[in-house]
A and B are shown apart, each in its own frame.
Chain A
Amino acid sequence: MSAVSNSDQFKQSFREEAREILVDLESALLELNENPVDLELVGRIFRGLHTIKGSGAMFGFEDLAAFTHNLENAFDEVRNGRLQVNSELIDLTLSALDQIRAMLEDGAGVAPADPAACAEILSKVRQLAGISPEKPTREKAVPHPPVPVLGVGPLRDWHIHFAPGADMMRNGANPFLLLQELRQLGSLSVRASMAAVPPLGEQDPERCYVAWEMVLTTASDADAIRDVFIFVEDGCELTIEPSPMCAAEVTARALEDQRSQPTGRRSYDKPDNVSSLRVPAAKLDQFVDLVGELVTVQARLSEIAARRDDPEFAEVSEEIERLTSALRENSMNIRMLPIRATFEKFRRLVHDLARDLGKDVELTMEGADTELDKTVIDQLGDPLMHLIRNSIDHGIEPADVRASQGKPAVATIHLSARHSGASVLIAVSDDGAGIDAQAVRNRAIEKGVVAADAELTEAEIFALIFQPGFSTAKQVTDVSGRGVGMDVVRQRVDSLRGTIDVVSKPGLGTSVTLRLPLTLAIIDGLLVSIGDACFVLPLANTLECIELTRADIERANGKHVANVRDELIPYIRLREHFNIRTERPAIEQIMVVETEEGRFGFVVDQVLGNCQTVIKNLGRFYRHVQAVSGATILGNGTVALILDPQRLAQDALRSVTHGPRGHPASPCAKTSSRTSSVLDRTPTPVN
C-alpha cells in the first residue's frame, strides 16, 4: 500500500531530521555548559526538545515524545529562571539524548533502549527541576487551553498562513496537532479557510484542502515558529510574517474566505512550493556513477569527433562536452557538504572524555564550513575520533603537570579544515606534551619494527605511531593505548587516497594533518604523455606549462632547475622517475604545479589537453603505490594513471635530503606506508 510506505517514509524523514536536531542539541548543551546564563542557548535547547517531542508524537513515537516532554519541562523551568544550569543538568540531558537516539533507532520507536536508564534520568531531572512525577504524556489531539510560553524577547504578533501539501495527510501528519504545537508557543487565534475545498464529488478524500490563517502572540521568533512545521514544510504553503493586521482583521478575512463560493476558491491544483528535498544518499551515489559513465562515453565521442573531418559532428560533440561538464560540476556540488556536522559531533566526545579522565579540555574549530565530498565526510568520523581520543588521553597533560609548566589550566584541542588545491586539509592539534620521538624510536626498536642502528628522521619516527599495534602508552586505558586507533586512522586515510602529516614539538603540542582529496569521483585534469604512456595531472594544482629544450638543460649545467620569469623552479623528470625507456623528444614540456612544498615542475613529452577524469580505484594490490592517486579510462579505451603532485614533490624532496633509497619510484613500487611528516615546518599554532 502506498499510504503505508509513505508513512514509513515520513517516519524515516522524521528520524533523519531528529538526528540532526540531536546533534545541534548536543552542541548547544556543551556551549551552555561553558556559558550557563546564555538564554539564547536555553531557548535553542527548549525549541529542539519541543520539536522532537511534538513531531515524535505526530509520527507515532509516543514513548519518545513522553520522555522528551519531561526534559522540555526542565528546560522550561530554566527558561523561566526557576532552575539554574549546572553540570549535573547538562550531563543528565546528554544522557537523555543518548536514550532518545536509541529510541529513534528502535524499529518502531515505541520502546526505550534502556527503560531503567530512562526512568533514572527522568527521576533525577525531575528532582533537579523540582517537578512532581507525572504520568507519561501521550501527545494526542486532546484539546487543552492555550498555554502561553514565555520566550526571551518581547511579545509580538505573527501572522501565519499555512496550507498543507497534497500528501500531508497521506504521510500520516495531522494539521490539528501542528496547531496544538503552535499554541504551546503563545496565544493563538486561528481560523480555518474552506475556500479551496472542492465540491463533494470532486474531492480527493485523502487530501487536505483546508488552509489556516492564524495570529500567534508570542515572544518566540520566526525560526521557533517555523520549527513547528519542520517536518511538513516541504510541499506546504507556509508564510510567517510579523502581523501587520490585528487578530480581528485576520479573522474577518478568513471568515470572508470561508463564506466564499467555489468560484473564488484557491487553486488547489497548482504545484506546491518545494524549497528543498531529501534524497537517499544511495540515489545520489547512483546518479554520480551514471554521470561518471557519461563522462567516459563523452570522452570517447570527443575522440571520434577529433578523428573525423565533420564540422557538424564536431559541433554536436563540443555541445555534449559542455553539457557533460556542467552536469558533472552540478552533480559534484550536490555531494559537497560542510564538515561542520562532523566537527560538532566531537564536542560531546571531548566533553565526555575530558570528564572521564579528569582533564579540562576545550574544543575549538576553524573552517567548519569547508565543503568536501559526502563520501569523504562519511569516512572521516572514525579517524578524527581516534586522533582526538589519543590527543586527550596521551597528549594533554594532567592539570598539575600543566600548572607546573606554566600552561593554561584549560587544554585545547583544535579542529581545522581548509582547502588546498584539489585537496582538503583536516587537522587535529593539541597544546599537550607533544610526541616523545626518542620514546617512539625506542619502542620501535624494542618491537623489532626498525633496526637499532637505523637512521630515521623525525618525520619517519612519527610515521611509526601509525603502525598496527604500536603504542608507547605505559598504561592501557579505556580510551586508548592498545595501539589500534592510529592504525585505523592510517588505514582509513589510505582508503581515501589521503596522506597524514605529523608535526610535534615537545612541551608545545602535536598537530596531525590529514590531506584528503576533495572528491573521490571526478576531477578536471590535464592529459599528458611520456613515450606511449598517458598520465593525468589534476588541473587544480597546475599553474602553467613551459617548454624545456636541450639548450635550457645545458644552460642549467644539468641541474633539474628551470628559470621561469627569474624564479628558479626545481623539476622532476617523470620519464626517469617512472623508468620509461623511450627516446626523449627535442622539446619537452614542464608542467608547473603548486604543492604544499612549493612550486615544482614535472617534465613530460607532450600536453594532450584538458580532460574530465572519472577516478577509478587501482584496487587493493596497488593501494600503497605512492605518487599515483588512481586511474582513469580515456576516450580511446586506454588507461591513464592520475598523478599525485604532492606525493611526487615529497618523494623528490626526500631523495634530495637523503639521496635515492631503495627501489626506483616506479608506479608499481610498493611502499610500507603513505604516511610522512612535513619537513621544515613549525607546529600548527593551537589556540
Chain B
Amino acid sequence: MPLTLESSDSLSKISLEGEIDIGCAAELQGLLVHALGSSKEVQVSLGSATDLDVTAVQLIWAARRAASASAVEFAVTGPVSEPLASTLLQAGFEDFAAIEIESLATGT
C-alpha cells in the first residue's frame, strides 16, 4: 500500500511509500482532507517515498496551506531520499522543497 493513515484525535500520520503518482492522487487527497478535519496535528511521512509527481506535490502544498488557515499543525517527516529531494529541486519547487527538506534535516 503506497498510502497509509494512522489517525487519532491529536495526530494523523499519513505515510507515503514508493512511487506516489497520479494513480494515488485521489486517495491522497481524501486522506489529507480527512486528516485535516479530524486531528490537531497532521504529519506526512516521505521517509519511504521514492518519487512524487506533481499531483502529490500540489496536494501536500495545498494541505499545508489549509492547515495554516485552520490552525492545524502540519509537518512533513523524513528522511527524504536524495533523488526525491533532487527531483523536487530540479522541478523548481525550491521554496516548497526547502521548507520540507529543512524540516526533515532538523528531525521534526
Could you list which residues of chain A lie within 8 angstroms of chain B, going by C-beta atoms?
141-143, 169-170, 174-176, 179-180, 183, 190-192, 194, 197-201, 203, 205-210, 212-214, 254-255, 258-259
Q: How far is the CB of A9 from chain B (nearest CB, A)?
A: 16
Q: Chain B residues near A200 (CB, 8 Å)?
A: 29, 32-33, 36, 59, 62-63, 65-66
Q: Chain A residues near B55 (CB, 8 Å)?
A: 169, 205-208
Judging by beta carbons under 8 Å apart, are A180 and B90 in contact? yes
**Which interface residue of B51, B57, B63, B92 has the most chain A CB atoms within 10 A?**
B92
Q: Tell me if B91 is interfacial: C-beta within 8 Å of chain A.
A: yes
12 additional A-B residue pairs with CB within 8 Å, beyond A194-B58, A200-B59 = A141-B51, A143-B90, A176-B54, A176-B90, A192-B96, A200-B63, A201-B33, A201-B66, A205-B25, A205-B26, A210-B57, A259-B95
Could you list which residues of chain B lie within 8 angstroms of chain A, going by C-beta atoms?
22, 25-26, 28-29, 32-33, 36, 51, 53-55, 57-59, 61-63, 65-66, 83, 86-87, 89-96
For the complex, what is the distance from the CA of A170 to the CA of B53, rounded to whole Å?
Answer: 12
For the complex, what is the distance from the CA of A142 to the CA of B90, rounded to whole Å?
Answer: 10
Top 3 closest A-B pairs, CB basis?
A205-B25, A192-B92, A190-B92
Judging by beta carbons under 8 Å apart, are A205 and B29 in contact? yes
Judging by beta carbons under 8 Å apart, are B92 and A209 in contact? no
Judging by beta carbons under 8 Å apart, are B58 and A210 in contact? yes
For the complex, what is the distance from the CA of A214 to the CA of B92, rounded to whole Å?
Answer: 9
Judging by beta carbons under 8 Å apart, are A194 and B90 in contact? no
Known: A200-B62, A258-B95. A206 touches B33 (CB 8 A): no
Judging by beta carbons under 8 Å apart, are A208 and B87 in contact? no
For the complex, what is the distance from the CA of A420 to the CA of B59, rounded to whole Å?
Answer: 61
For the complex, what is the distance from the CA of A176 to the CA of B83, rounded to whole Å?
Answer: 13
Judging by beta carbons under 8 Å apart, are B91 and A197 in contact? no
Chief secondary structure at chain B's binding surface: helix
Judging by beta carbons under 8 Å apart, are B62 and A192 in contact? no
For the complex, what is the distance from the CA of A175 to the CA of B92, rounded to whole Å?
Answer: 11
Q: How far is the CB of B2 from chain A (nearest CB, A)?
A: 14
Q: How far is the CB of B103 from chain A (nearest CB, A)?
A: 18
Q: Chain A residues near B93 (CB, 8 Å)?
A: 192
For the complex, what is the distance from the CA of A213 to the CA of B65, rounded to whole Å?
Answer: 22
Judging by beta carbons under 8 Å apart, are B83 and A191 in contact? no
Q: Chain B residues near A205 (CB, 8 Å)?
A: 22, 25-26, 28-29, 55, 59
Known: A169-B54, A210-B54. A179 touches B66 (CB 8 A): no
Judging by beta carbons under 8 Å apart, are A208 and B54 in contact? yes
22 residue pairs A–B, Cβ–Cβ below 8 Å: A143-B87, A143-B90, A169-B53, A174-B54, A180-B90, A191-B94, A192-B93, A194-B58, A197-B62, A199-B62, A200-B59, A200-B63, A201-B66, A203-B58, A205-B26, A205-B59, A206-B22, A206-B26, A208-B58, A210-B54, A212-B91, A258-B95
Q: Chain B residues near A210 (CB, 8 Å)?
A: 54, 57-58
Known: A203-B59, A212-B92. A176 touches B36 (CB 8 A): no
**Which interface residue of A203, A206, A213 has the most chain B CB atoms within 10 A?**
A203
For the complex, what is the distance from the CA of A218 to the CA of B86, rounded to whole Å?
Answer: 22
